[in-house]
């Protein structure tokens, strides 16, 4: 398990798991506890302690909070064929080193853009994930460079999205004075 490998190098490390489907929180927590990991569950208001290994954040609307708290985000559903991955733009925007597996069919274009901008790293398997996490936790410069690239990419995508929406709405919006149009350009 990745957490155990990380704990060898970083005693006291906390792994946060945010399930895509929060209703799986009890199942995930139970499975982790069966392996001997001290696991706390957010939906049950279980408190973290120094001995906590895994925190299952099985609630809705808080993903941004956890991305802001974590220096590294592994985007799940990407190491197992058939799931297609998940969107990596939010952790890129919120200051994480973004790591994904090789199965990102649902977000292939975004993944390729992120990889091309050195704003994300791809891993082959769970062992590779552990190695990459150790690398980015150990190398502050590499971590900061990856985070900067990810934020720059995400900001550029946000600007593109705003401009695309504006362009679609422009025909139905009231005319603007020239000062506003100049500032927008």
Q: In this predicted structure, what is the pLDDT of residue 181?
A: 58
Which of 21, 7, 88 lies closest to 60, judged by CA?
A: 21
Alpha-carbon distance 157 to 81, whole Å? 27
100 within 8 A of 123, measured Cβ to Cβ? yes
CB within 8 Å of 139: residues ≥ 6 apart: none
Q: Tell me the pLDDT tens digit for each residue of 45-58.
A: 999 999 999 999 99
The CA-atom distances, in angstroms, between 171 and each of 162, 166, 168, 180, 183 are: 15, 9, 7, 16, 19
Segment 86-139, tens digit of pLDDT: 889 999 999 999 999 999 999 999 999 999 999 999 999 999 999 999 999 999
How deeply is 43 buried, as exposed, middle or buried, from its count of CB atoms within 10 A (0-12, 13-18, 19+)?
Answer: middle
Residue 14 structure tokens: 């906390």
Pick among 3.40.50.150, 3.40.250.10, 3.40.50.2000, 3.90.1150.10: CATH of 2-184: 3.40.50.2000
pLDDT in the model for residue 82:
85
pLDDT tens by residue, 18-43: 998 999 999 999 999 999 999 999 99
Residue appearing with tokens 């190491």:
79
Query: What phi-psi label fits residue 12: left (phi over 0), alpha (psi between -120 and 50 degrees) or beta?
Result: left
């Amino acid at each position: 398990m990745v957490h155990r490998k990380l704990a060898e190098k970083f005693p006291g490390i906390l792994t946060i798991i945010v399930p895509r489907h929060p209703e799986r929180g009890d199942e995930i927590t139970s499975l982790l506890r069966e392996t001997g990991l001290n696991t706390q569950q957010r939906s049950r208001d279980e408190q973290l302690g120094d001995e906590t290994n895994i925190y299952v954040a099985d609630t809705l609307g808080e993903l941004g909070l956890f991305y802001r708290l974590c220096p590294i985000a592994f985007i799940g559903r990407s190491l197992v064929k058939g799931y297609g991955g998940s969107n990596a733009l939010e952790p890129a925007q919120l200051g994480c080193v973004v790591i994904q597996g090789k199965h990102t069919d649902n977000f292939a274009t975004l993944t390729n853009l992120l990889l091309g901008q050195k704003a994300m790293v791809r891993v082959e398997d769970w062992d590779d994930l552990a190695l990459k996490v150790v690398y980015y936790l150990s190398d502050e410069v590499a971590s900061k460079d990856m985070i900067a690239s990810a934020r720059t990419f995400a900001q550029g995508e946000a600007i593109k999205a705003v401009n695309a929406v504006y362009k679609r709405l422009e025909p139905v919006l009231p005319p603007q004075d020239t000062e506003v149009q100049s500032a927008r350009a």
